[in-house]
Structure 1
Amino acid sequence: MPDRNWIDLKQDPVSGIETMRAHFEGHAYDPHWHDSYLVGLTEQGVQQFNCRRQQYNSTPGKVFLLEPGDIHDGHAPEVEGFTYRTLYIDPHWLDRELRAQFDEAPDNAQLSVAATLADDRRLTIATANAFEALHSDELLIVRQTALDDLLSTLTRHLRWRTLISPDPRLPLVAQRARDYLHSHMHQDIGLDDLAHAAGVDRFRLTRAFKAAFGLAPHAYLIQLRLSRARRLLARGELPVSVAAALGFADQSHMGRWFQRAYRMTPADYRRRCSNLPD
């Protein structure tokens, strides 16, 4: 049976926003996250995904909104699969652009999504227009106008969330382990190292971490490295260098995990986003 899945990915050179149109049948991708805000539109079929411990079914015309770090997967529950468009928006760019549109933007705060799935015709149209302008490489003024309209519409679906450190909603054990993974992500980290940093035994650590973040520590570490790999590859760095820098066993090891999460190879992602010759 031929593989009818496909991905069309581009990156806007001015805003840095990635635009992706894709089609999947059956299993689309494993649980993963992005460093970006995702604003996406389901074009055809039923796009089923799990996020924040809830299952969503996005149908044509609905817009899905994810924050950086939101763990999500993808599946097509119907045989014809689903087609969708997504804009991957850099958090710093979005924060800078939207502060001018909100009447009051608190200093010690970050943007938060009000609801993961939105049924808003104006947002649907704005998302489609922004995607088309960027993906088709329209004139700069056309791209900027479409993005301004999208951002203006998004203000009704975003809110400011006060930054809290440490986060009282999460166990301190899980937060210590997460911070250790972020600061030692390039190293060959063992569970004993992580447990020592968190101040508990390995078994309590694993249970607390999975309850807090929805992933076991080793899976979280892989996703952390993959997220960093995307940024390095988009800057034009070679897959072999990225794999070595991030602690993967070798390039093929990184490639297998990258393919499972993003359904494309690191080399293909680099080619589509960096505009550099191979």
Structure 2
Amino acid sequence: MVERPQIRAWRPLLAGIDEVFHARITDHVYPMHTHETWTLLIVDDGMVRYDLERHEHGALDRTVTLLPPHVPHNGRSVTPDGFRKRVVYLDSAQLDDGLVGLAVDSPVLDDPLLRRRIHQLHLSLEQVGDELEAESRLTLVSERLRDHLLQRVEDRSEVRDAGIAHRLRELLDERFVEGVSLQDASATLHVHPAHLVRVFSREFGMGPHQYLTGRRIDLARRLLLGGMAPRLVAAASGFYDQSHFSRHFKRMLGISPGLYARSAVVTPGRP
């Protein structure tokens, strides 16, 4: 009996990604086909064998596979147990079509850092309200893919620009409740999005999305201790909804917003 594939697919609210596709495949064999977008694939279990431009390749659980648009390929499991994969389909805003030939020559990338970043991108794409994090992670993934395709030296030295990092922090401080996208920050500061993420992370030891979340949590704590109901604090401190707020609050402090509010000690003489 042929086992039906287990599939999840959705279109995220994030420019640059056309579709996210998670699947467990056992018996299905993909025939030769093409995509209009770039196929960025990681395998979590098992192994995939595929043909690209009359050459056979394999996708392992430790590697990254990048299949270019408009180039025919197929796919099948190497073992009877099948495989689990996660895919993001990237549009040409992330990788220019002029890089297609380079991707055909080397679709398999053995890069643990890139694979980890793609894994983190998938996690952020599953969480509504974490768009800045997903955008930041996508920017770094796309940049590293371009570096591979252009055969750039991965350990090249980079100029440390603390001034840009501090300007971005000031922008985040000014707009942390309403939020600011990486593209808006890039346009405001006239700096490439990937460079913004890189210099900010190097200067402050955390990504822009982590800093933004920390600022929001700080405000939420003040509002909770001031007596505002937890159900109102989420929107007042810039979170997407109550679930988004509670998840990040508990991750930061280890307890829920409600428990935090109830733990408040009333200080005599203070309102």
Question: Normalising by structure 2, what TM-score?
Answer: 0.50
Structure 1's 159 and 10: CA in aligned 2 closer, same or farther, altered over 3 A?
Answer: same
| 1:67 matched residue in structure 2 | 68
Larger radius of gyration: 2
The reply to whether residue 40 of structure 1 matches residue 41 of structure 2 is yes
Matched, 1:56 2:61: no
Candidates 118, 121, 124, aligned match of 2:109: 118
Does the aligned pair in 1 maintain the 2:95–2:142 contact within 8 Å?
no
Q: 1:111 to 1:2 in 2, by over 3 A?
A: closer
**One-letter code aligned to 1:144:** E
Aligned letter for 2:13?
P
Deviation at 1:4, TM superposition (A): 4.3
Q: Which runs of 5+ in 2 are unaligned?
A: 152-271
Q: What is the aligned partner in structure 2 of residue 9 from structure 1?
A: 9
Instruction: Give the match's secondary structure for 1:157.
Output: helix
Encode CA deviations 1:184-210: one digit per residue, 9 max, x unaligned: xxxxxxxxxxxxxxxxxxxxxxxxxxx
2:149 counterpart of 1:148: no
Calculate the TM-score normalised by the size of structure 1.
Answer: 0.49
Residue type of the alignment partner of 1:14: L
Alignment partner of 1:133 out of 124, 132, 137 = 124
* Structure 2 counterpart of 1:115, one-letter code: S
Give 3-state SS (helix, strand or coil) of 2:150's partner: strand
After superposition, the C-alpha distances for 1:155-198 in whole angstroms (9 at most, x for unaligned) are 222239xxxxxxxxxxxxxxxxxxxxxxxxxxxxxxxxxxxxxx
Structure 2 distance, partners of 1:141, 1:78, is 39
Change (3 A) 1:50 1:144: same
Query: Does the 8 A contact of 2:39 with 2:67 survive in 1?
Result: yes
Q: Tell me the distance in 1 between the aligned counterparts of 2:123 and 2:129.
A: 8
Runs of 4+ deviating beyond 4 Å: none
The offset of 1:75, in angstroms, is 0.6
Following the alignment from structure 1 to structure 2, what is the Cα–Cα distance between the partners of residues 138 and 58?
32
Alignment gaps of 5+ in structure 1: 97-108, 161-278
Deviations 1:4-24 (A, max 9, x none): 411111111231511111111
Higher relative contact order (CA 8 A, sep 6+): 1
CA contact (8 A) 1:126 1:153 kept: no
Q: CA RMSD in A?
A: 2.1
Q: Which residue of 2 aligns with 1:20?
A: 21
Q: How many Å separate the matches in 1 of 2:83 and 2:113? A: 22
What are the within-5 Å matches in structure 2 for residues 250-261 of structure 1? Answer: none
Helix, strand or coil at the partner of 2:98: strand
Q: Are residues 28 and 4 of structure 1, via their aligned partners in 2, closer, same or farther at CA, if it must alter by over 3 Å?
A: same
Letter in 1 for 2:7: I
